[in-house]
Structure 1
Amino acid sequence: MSDGQSFSQRKNFVAWIGLGVSIVALALKYAAWAASGSVALKSDALETIINVVAAAGGLWAIRLAERPADDNHTYGHYKAEYLSAIIESAMVLVTALMIAKAAYDGFLHPQELHSPWIGILLNSAATVINLVWGLTLMRIGRSMRSPALEAGGHHVLSDVWTGFGLVAGLMLIPVTGWHWLDPVIAALIALNVLRVGWEMLKQSVSGLMDEAPDLDTLSKLNEIIAQKAIGAIEAHDIRIREVGAMTFIEFHLVVPGTMTVSVVHDICDRIEAGLRAELGRCVINIHVEPEHKAKNSGIVLAHATRTVENADMTA
């Protein structure tokens, strides 16, 4: 089994687990709402329905993103994960509006809770399950550089923080008799879901627009090229974009005009091996140029320049 196949199977396995966890959490939260009649618990259950749909969509996106390049998609299908994340973000925003509507109805028609402690207990169980899974999903999504898995982790954790606040607020209602807290909590849930959806949407759009990675990644890239490009003169016009788990890198490598094709090829191989060892799965395009194309910008390799000068003196 190739590394690519193993990687794809791990992502699919994680996505399937996520779908199962979402269904279990939904069942617990629906039971909590049915037992208590709480508007806040109904709002929480509505959000979890989106979790289930999003988990199914993320599974589809991961399977599509791992398809090999073809004649119609010569760079692969990696951006499918960003599309899934954007759809999930939009669904989260719609859910926020639905929850806000439920909270408004609760203000207009307040109701006494039926069995609040049973609802609180069931919802707490779902929250604990989501906490464990959300933290796990975030860690796996980052290690696999999967936008779909990481977006799912953000969504699940937003559900967790909502759940903690929800449980704490609902515990006050049977103690104090403040039934107006129920729709207030639902309104706060709507605001939190709206915030999370907006953050997810911004992150997904950045990926689709090929936004440059963070400065640490760029610095690491330059450092690897400088270390591995011994014998070259400079590397300039460096561009990098991350699409899901794949990194696309391209730059111009200036070498002495007297250098043989074989030596240049070895330099490029060293650079590519170093980049893949550090950054993982990469598509690397290196455009080789002679020394008169040097721009004295980008990564200037002084030791290589001295080599060229020595070669000129010998000639």
Structure 2
Amino acid sequence: MAHNSQMNFPGWQSLTPQRLLRASVAVAAATIALKTTAWYITDSVGLLSDAMESFVNLASALFGLAMVTIAQRPADEDHPYGHHKAEYFSSGFEGALIVGAGVAIIWASVHRMMNPQPLQQLGWGLLLSVGSSALNGVLAWVMFRSARVHRSIALEADARHLVTDVWTSAGVVVGIGGVIWTGWLWLDAVVAIGVALNILWEGSQLVWRSSQGLMDEAVEPDVLEAIHRTLEGFARPAIRFDHLITRRSGQRRFADLHMHMPERWTLGRAAALRNSVEQALMGAVPGLRVSIQILPSNVEAHFDDGDGLT
């Protein structure tokens, strides 16, 4: 599996979600200063949309840092399965903020389209915008890779948000370049609206993914394949597995299944095999928690609640 190979590099392990989200807070503060200055000296609605996106970045990074900190808390009496789902709140919140920023950008752009204004000092404005977006691009690249190592949807959400910021800046540069080339002042607003539509799409996808995680979505296809491959290594004519059900909860994966074996086996022998299977599964899938019910070969379990099987 791809994430197993990355887990071998201690450098990526040291880039914890908390550290990267703190870096995201610092970068967001820096980009707010740069892009707000760029908008102030140019009066470009495109650069204004860029600056507004950076304010959303800051709020998202702060909220994500809080949720990741909560997600790292150990299980307790009130939360026996841990607090890992807190990361989904971070992702959903970030998606909602992205959608809000997109709507605000469209509103400001339509207003400017109705009342075009000349742009000023474009060279400095573009330079500040591009420089701040370069910071976001580098941080997003690092966060995407660390998100796969730590299986953190909060990190992935923040990285995707930073990528939307980079696209926003790219769109702004294109729009202002078009204004310089053609003299059409309204082109600045049109490009800003196009960028906002892309932001709305990205935000809606984050909200959707978060909702699926909160509803106990099944594990990813590659993880499910690893589980089946591991079980096949233990399967024998007298030993079989069925009723496999999986779910995701933040960094954790959970699997419940039945293991059938000869009824003449002693309880000690059955428990020893179950322990070997559990250890093999948790070794094949980092972060997996397994629950295996032992049943004789001639006994079948029946479910009446209508739940599907993975």
TM-score, length-normalised on structure 2? 0.88
Map 1:1-315 → 2, pairs under 5 A: 10-228=16-234, 233-294=239-300
Deviations 1:254-286, CA, capped at 9 Å, x for gaps: 111122222222222222222222211122111
Cα 1:193–1:67 change in 2 (3 A) is same
Q: Alignment partner of 1:293: what SS?
A: coil
> What letter corresponds to residue 33 of structure 1 in structure 2?
W
Conserved? CA contact 1:79–1:243, under 8 Å:
yes
Q: Alignment partner of 1:235: what SS?
A: strand
CA distance in 1, matches of 2:254, 2:238: 22
75-84 vs 7-16, which deviates more? 7-16
CA distance in 2, matches of 1:232, 1:58: 49
> What letter corresponds to residue 19 of structure 1 in structure 2?
V
Conserved? CA contact 1:228–1:274, under 8 Å:
no
Question: Cα offset for 1:18?
Answer: 1.6
TM-score, length-normalised on structure 1? 0.87
Conserved? CA contact 2:15–2:146, under 8 Å:
no
Q: Alignment partner of 1:287: what SS?
A: strand
Conserved? CA contact 1:229–1:267, under 8 Å:
no
Give 1:301's aligned residue.
none
Give 2:7's aligned residue.
none
Gaps of 5+ in 1: 1-5, 296-315
Extract structure 1 runs of 4+ deviating beyond 3 A. Answer: 6-9, 228-232
Q: Alignment partner of 1:74: what SS?
A: coil
Question: Cα offset for 1:214?
Answer: 3.2
Q: Alignment partner of 1:117: what SS?
A: helix
Deviations 1:164-204, CA, capped at 9 Å, x for gaps: 22212212322332211111111112111111111111111
Percent identity between matched residues is 33
Conserved? CA contact 2:102–2:197, under 8 Å:
yes
> What letter corresponds to residue 47 of structure 2 in structure 1?
L
Please tell me the root mean square deviation across aligned C-alpha atoms, in Å: 1.9
Gaps of 5+ in 2: 1-11, 302-310
In the comparison of the two structures, how many residue pairs are matched? Answer: 290
Conserved? CA contact 2:88–2:154, under 8 Å:
yes
Question: Cα offset for 1:231?
Answer: 8.3
Cα 1:110–1:13 change in 2 (3 A) is same
CA distance in 1, matches of 2:55, 2:236: 55
Question: Cα offset for 1:28?
Answer: 1.4
CA distance in 1, matches of 2:94, 2:230: 36
Q: Alignment partner of 1:15: what SS?
A: helix
Conserved? CA contact 1:69–1:76, under 8 Å:
yes
Conserved? CA contact 1:90–1:201, under 8 Å:
yes
Conserved? CA contact 1:232–1:253, under 8 Å:
no
Cα 1:117–1:9 change in 2 (3 A) is closer
CA distance in 1, matches of 2:102, 2:69: 28
Question: Cα offset for 1:224?
Answer: 0.7
Cα 1:125–1:8 change in 2 (3 A) is closer
Rg larger for: 1
